[in-house]
Amino acid sequence: TDRKDQTFESRISTTNHPLSRRLFKIMLRKKTNLCVAADVATSQQLLSLADQLGPHICLLKTHVDLMSDFTLDTTQELKELAEKHNFLLFEDRKFGDIGNTVAKQYSGGAHKVVEWAHLVTAHALPGPGVIEGLASAAQDQERGCVLVSQMSSVGALTSNEYVNGCSRLAENHTYFVVGFVSQSSVSGDSRFILFTPGVQLEKSVDGLGQQYVTPRAAVLERGADIIIVGRGITQASDPVATAITYKHQAFSAYEERVAG
């Protein structure tokens, strides 16, 4: 049976990736398939969002390179909040270079992403080397990557051929790839988790190419397992209440989907 029709519970045993298993278990225990994109400028804002929204999310997605004061102390506090509220850390670095370069970017630089982020995003454009490079830098730590298969923005260049190439690449590297960022059901393989950004409570656009669908449409029409929501929550007047609304809509859409 297709990925979309299977419960997270039944999918746990189909994957050997320890982080996929952890993520399925977190989603079931907390009844949330919401990932918040905390695209904020300061560590204080990031940590405050992580603590407030922590109970309602399975994943916290970051872009640490847009922060003005990010240090390794911030990562220590993030790790503690992730443990306190039982969510995973997801750095949206979109690695997209040759293996040797991404291995150094992942483990080095100012951000030392491999030391604190459970998951990272990567573009499949370079081919298998990008995954092999990241995996080599992860060594024996429990780490994984999500391949960007399709994008939410207007005019994205991800053709069907590219999307199919991403799927083949993932199938050949299941020890490291946990799933895809996508806008449609790019894979029926129950091992892979589909993450869908471009989600707000109303269908809309942002003026710089971003396109939004509703949580229900993301899960029921576009095949999302996890919805990624940024400004819809972070810029709301009450981010916690708003996160709860997204959580309920996305999780009940998931329950409806698997109930068939």
Cite the annotated binding site by residue number.
39, 61, 152, 210, 230-231
Residue pair 192/160 in contact (Cβ under 8 Å)? The answer is no
Judged by CB under 6 A, the residue of 4, 8, 59, 92 near ligand S5P is: 92
Please count the residues of this chain forming the interface with ligand S5P, following the rule CB under 6 A.
Answer: 16
The β-bridge relationship of strands 193-196 and 177-181 is parallel
| One character per residue 38-67, x = contact with ligand S5P (rule: CB under 6 A) | -x-----------------------x----
CB of 146 to ligand S5P, least distance (A): 8
Q: What residue spans of the chain are helical by DSSP H?
A: 8-12, 18-30, 43-53, 72-85, 99-107, 128-138, 160-171, 215-216, 231-234, 239-259
Question: CA 170 to CA 178: how far, in whole Å?
Answer: 8
How big is the CA angle at 189 (ends 249 and 131), to the nearest 5 degrees? 100
Task: Check residue 213 for interaction with ligand S5P (CB under 6 A).
Answer: no
92 catalytically annotated: yes
- Choose between 12 and 244: whose C-beta lies nearer to ligand S5P: 244
User: CA-to-CA distance for 87 and 240, rounded, in angstroms?
Assistant: 16
Contact flag: residue 223 with ligand S5P (CB under 6 A): no
Counting contacts by CB under 6 A, is residue 225 touching ligand S5P? no
- Binding residues (CB under 6 A) for ligand S5P: these are 37, 39, 63, 92, 121, 151-152, 181, 197-198, 210, 228-232
